[in-house]
Structure 1
Amino acid sequence: MIPAEQPANETERLQVLHSLKILDTVADDDYDTITELASLLCGTPVSLISMVDEERQWFKSKKGLDVCETAREHSFCAHAILEPTEILEIPDARLDPRFIDNPLTENETPVVFYAGVPLRTDTGVPIGSLCVIDHKPNALTPDQRSALKKLGKQVERLLLLRSMNHELITTKESLKKHNGLLKEFASVVSHDLKMPLANIILTSDIVKKKYGEFIDDQGKAYLDYLKKSSLSMSDYITKILDHYECSSYDIDDTQAFEVNDLLEGVIDLMNIRDNCEILTPENNIAIHCNSTALQQIFMNLIGNSLKYSDKEKTVIQIAVTEMDKLYEFKVRDNGIGIEKEKLDTIFELFTTAGQLDNTGQKGHGIGLSTVKNLVENLGGEITVTSELGVFSEFVFTIAKRVRF
């Protein structure tokens, strides 16, 4: 008997095999179906899906065999993986120097005939084989060899799917962990923002009550506006945090509302100058979606129109169209526009158009990336068209939600 040599990439091969986490797992119908077919098509009493570990070969699926593993030094499959692109076929192992005196050829159900197709990962690393075994001399026909190779490919696809599923599970766990950290961060930020707002609200009331007799009506109106704006912003922060929590736990926080009511709320939250005109849709349609997400989308788009305006009068036009399965929104302004070569990358994180806003500041490239993510989470898409110095128009859709 001549035990198989170790492959040149043995260390990598074992790492790949163990990363699949398939060793010592329970039987699986998907694999068992393949060994049943292999045995039937090749006319052999035994068929195995074997994984060659460091000191053993372990059978993920077995047809016509009771044991779950054998020693690697006795393994036929350990020889098969040495030529990972070829079928290893042994008509009579009792006549082959590699297997003479092998315990597997001398037991009550001896391995006499063997044919094994190596199983490789998508990177070409051999980890085991799909083999058929007979207790007497045999040989495969060309059709049987072809069938065995095709069944081997099916096993490889199952292994690839298993690997991808593990990656998805690992990614999901990682995202869950990071989402937990982000939730804690969002909660802290929310608290740190709302506390100063609460102080502004309280201070406004105190100033109005204590010094009211010294403040004229216009001054009192300013205090009222300051309080109203602070209350609105505090409420908005709360809704943003609620929306984040809903997104983290896949809760579909949808509700019915009229689009102009939402837009009026957005406009009230923003610092709209006297030289700015916002034209809301003439058709005030009812919408059923996540209002907090849609509100944040409009806050970003309208905010950009205000910041990147170079005209004596800023005009922002908002339109909505109801379609069969979507709502389509358009936000168009008469601002500085976006350079043509920037249009394809404007939604990428930390990418900006390069222009300074009307306060001389450069954008941070987060807002439009956030908008794109929100739109896609709502089942839609967003595009932009622009002419430098003339206009910018953002068109986005969101999917209609079924009402229960």
Structure 2
Amino acid sequence: MIYAPMPDNEQERLHELIRYEVLYTQYEEDFDQIVRLASAICKTPISTITLLDFNKQWFKAKIGIDNTEGDRGTSFCGHAIMQDESIMVVNDALEDQRFIDNPLVLGDPNIRFYAGYPLVSPSGYKLGTLCVIDKVPRTLNEEQELTLKTLGNQVVKLFELRLRNKEAQIKAQLIEDQKKQLEESSSAQSKIISIIAHDVRGPVTSLKTMIELTKSKSLTEAETALLLDMLDKQLDGTLDMLTNLVDWGSMLLRKGKLSITSVQIYALIDKVFKSIAPMMQLKKNQFQNLVPEDIAVKADENTLRFILRNIISNANKFTSNGSITISLVPAENKEYLSIVVADTGCGMPLEIQQELFNPAKRHSREGTNNEKGSGLGLILAKEFAEAMQASIEVKSEPGKGTSFILTLPASI
């Protein structure tokens, strides 16, 4: 027996085969039809579309045999790809020195007749064969040989079509992704324009009016003091909203590139608290961080800081002479943890809770010290929580306080 030789361009041939992404794939009706037709026209019980891997032959389509693959070294197809784009015909394997003691001849499937046509890619690489096999000696007539060649060429065309379709699908998906990104960008721009028009123009207009009234000396000292106090509160809310817009814009740019790592919750909450401690002191609120120091969650640290800052700031806004407590509780899903931010503030009615995260019905309520707000922070907090596979819910009762529950994947 002579083992099937390796072509000189074997490495390049394998690269070409891999490029078509057809090796070891599901059976497909288009290829099955070809082997059935080849078997019927050549009047053989066995036909296969065989692809040659480094050390195996694998059947993309087959009829008449149960095996899905075999050894390349003992394969007839391994010899057939050494032909110069012509059919290799073995009329009687027992009279061919290459195959006389081949295990495929002496045992199952007891090959005596073989005809294989190389499947040659447009680049000239032989990927495998279309072959017909019989268990008795025989020959092919000219019409059968022509049919085998024609069907073999059709196999390669199907490979090409399959590859082009896949490339077209990838391009279509890229176009769809780009379209989605443009739509998201357009939506973000519309939101920003709407927010600026609604929430920035008002305080700036009020400031301009105040300056003009002061210049004209139309106001008394008491009226001026009252207007300054109102304007001060309006500008506080505007500055808070602008901070959120800047953070939002920054996160939008890297929304698809969130850096999910293990984040120590206690340390992050401590940083957030220190940044807003002066505002808590003004409201005479007590703050408690009851989260264990060694517990971590899977999150993007900057995004989680943004979310917690907005939730804690919101709790402080609607609480005076009270307390804000942050604790950790197990979630229903054991792979998640819930961070609970609970305050003893004024709470909120059910109808506001139901619309709290709805951008179309953005609420801006005054805080317990008449602080102004834009209603934007919590909406953005929910948007970016969902981008991290986290969730936010709220529970509140008027006069008894509010709890925000932020649930994230635990970091084991």
TM interval, shorter chain, is 0.3 to 0.5
Larger radius of gyration, structure 1 or 2? 2
Which structure has the higher relative contact order (CA within 8 Å, separation 6+)?
2
Normalising by structure 2, what TM-score?
Answer: 0.47
